[in-house]
Amino acid sequence: MAHTGLVLPNSGHNRDAEANKFGMWLFLFTELLLFGGLFIVYMVYRMLNHEAFLLSSFELNVTMGTVNTVVLLVSSMTIAMAVSAIQMGQAKRSAMLLWITFALAGVFLVIKYFEWSAKIHHGLFPGLDYYNNLPAGERLFFFLYYIMTGLHALHIIIGMVIILFTIRQTNNGTLSPEKHSLTENAGLYWHLVDLIWIYLFPLFYLIH
């Protein structure tokens, strides 16, 4: 059977960048619903246990939290620059900026590791004796702290995997100024991760 050369719309021969972006926005919306629900739970319990939440927040390391905030803000800038670079056809520069974003994500996780380790070393973790003897309000604060920052850290790890895949596609020459939706979607995801931390940081570390 002779090949006619006919290419049907949306038959898989043409990538629909707009559909990809719409799918990513839809995914980000579900993520916002997830964290939005957790933020509401946090605010309700904080109103009911204001004094206990205030005392518990003093146990958190504001310096580490501040450094991590700066790290994520810088990483948002570098991934935005990576998107601009691939749009201008600068694939090597885009890959380099993605590597920097990846490294900054690693720095965030290392700082978070040391922060969690210090808390666990002092018994501030669900199930440990010191934690079990805390007043109910303080136990609730640290329970929410581990759930919400742990879930955020998981999103950081997922973001690092996405960034690595984007770097690979960039180096393979798969991405170009005409076809760069993967880099854009990686950037959108990373900005969401950054945005969530912007809310988590004051909620847990800067309570007044």
Q: What is the pLDDT of residues 56-93, one digit of tens each?
A: 999 999 999 999 999 999 999 999 999 999 999 999 99
Q: What DSSP string describes 134-151?
A: S-HHHHHHHHHHHHHHHH
**C-alpha–C-alpha distance, residues 164 and 9, integer Å:** 31
Q: Is the pLDDT confidence value at 14 over 80?
A: no
Q: Is the pLDDT confidence value at 171 over 70?
A: yes
Confidence of residue 11 (pLDDT cuts 50, 70, 90): very low
Say what angle helices 91-121 and 136-171 make with each other, to 10 degrees.
160
Give the mean pLDDT of 171-178: 89
Give pLDDT, residue 15.
56
Percentage of the chain beyond pLDDT 70 is 92
pLDDT digit string, tens, across residues 124-169:
999 999 999 999 999 999 999 999 999 999 999 999 999 999 999 9
Q: Are 56 and 143 in contact (CB under 8 A)?
A: no
Name the amino acid, one letter, at 21.
Answer: K
Q: The whole model's pTM is what? A: 0.87
Q: Is the pLDDT confidence value at 186 over 70?
A: yes
Nearest CA to 140 among 33, 34, 35, 43? Answer: 43
In the numeric block, which tokens belong to residue 157? 């790890």
